Structure formats: C-alpha cells, structure tokens
Amino acid sequence: MNKVYVPSLLIFLVAVLTFCSLKNDGNTKKFAIMGTWHWQESIGGITGKEIITPQSTGVDKKLVFGANKKVTVFTNDTETGQYEYTIELGNSIFDNKQHYLLTFNEMSYVIQYIDNKNLTIRDNFTDGYVLTYTK
C-alpha cells in the first residue's frame, strides 16, 4: 500500500504547489511593481524600429508605484502626475490572449516582463512602444 501512497502524495503536492504558484502570479506582479522605476528606452512607433532614450530626448522619466494603488510620474525630477493604477488580467490586442495589463492615466500596457529589477511593458495599441524600466 505504501508504494502507491507515496507517489500519489508526491503528485498531489506538485499539483497543489503548481496551482498555488499560478494563482499567486497576479499578486506577485502587483507587489513587484511597487517602488521606483527609471525609464531606460522605448522601441516601436509606426516603423516598429524607432528607439527613444533619455539620452536622445534629454527627458528623464520615473514612475513611483505605491501600495496605495497610486503611481506618481516624474519628468526631469518634477512631478507631472499622480494616477490610480490597476493590474488585472485582460486581452492583449496583439494576440487576443489573457495577459496582465497595467492601467493608469487612461492607458493600458501589457506587462511583458517584471522582476525585482526590470520592467518591460508594451502599449496595448497598434504602433505603440515597448517601454523598458529599471529599479
């Protein structure tokens, strides 16, 4: 009886851990977004190849996400706006599949990548940009 019980228990535990990690992925993204993010570059536009950086524009942008569901936007160290933000599952216009969408200031972005040091978001409309930020 033990020969059947141990493998069954292991399979059950793996299934539970997998489910929990998938279920908490949204919360991980919501908590990972908190903090100060510095804009590094934007790639896209009509041609899809335009590259814009703080060095090429002379504009330094910073996003500060707080636990209060507010994001404060700074341009050249001057506060230029404060907005409520959400992170929710929604459809991307690019593949019509569910992705985590970051929404603030009437804009929607697909979260392409996030960890504790890097954030990559994509405008959720055609001819948009992929924006890269670092902490």
73 is a domain residue: yes
**Residue recorded with tokens 């060095």:** 55
Contact between residue 63 and residue 71 where contact means Cβ atoms under 8 Å apart: yes
Residues of the chain above pLDDT 90, percent: 73
3-state SS assignment for residue 94? coil
The pLDDT tens digits for 24-65 are: 445 556 678 999 999 999 999 999 999 999 999 999 999 999
Tell me which H or E stretch contains 22: helix 2-23
Residue 99's domain comprises: 33-134
Q: Rg for the chain (alpha carbons), in Å?
A: 19
pTM of the model as a whole: 0.77
User: Domain holding 90: CATH number?
Assistant: 2.40.128
21 is a domain residue: no
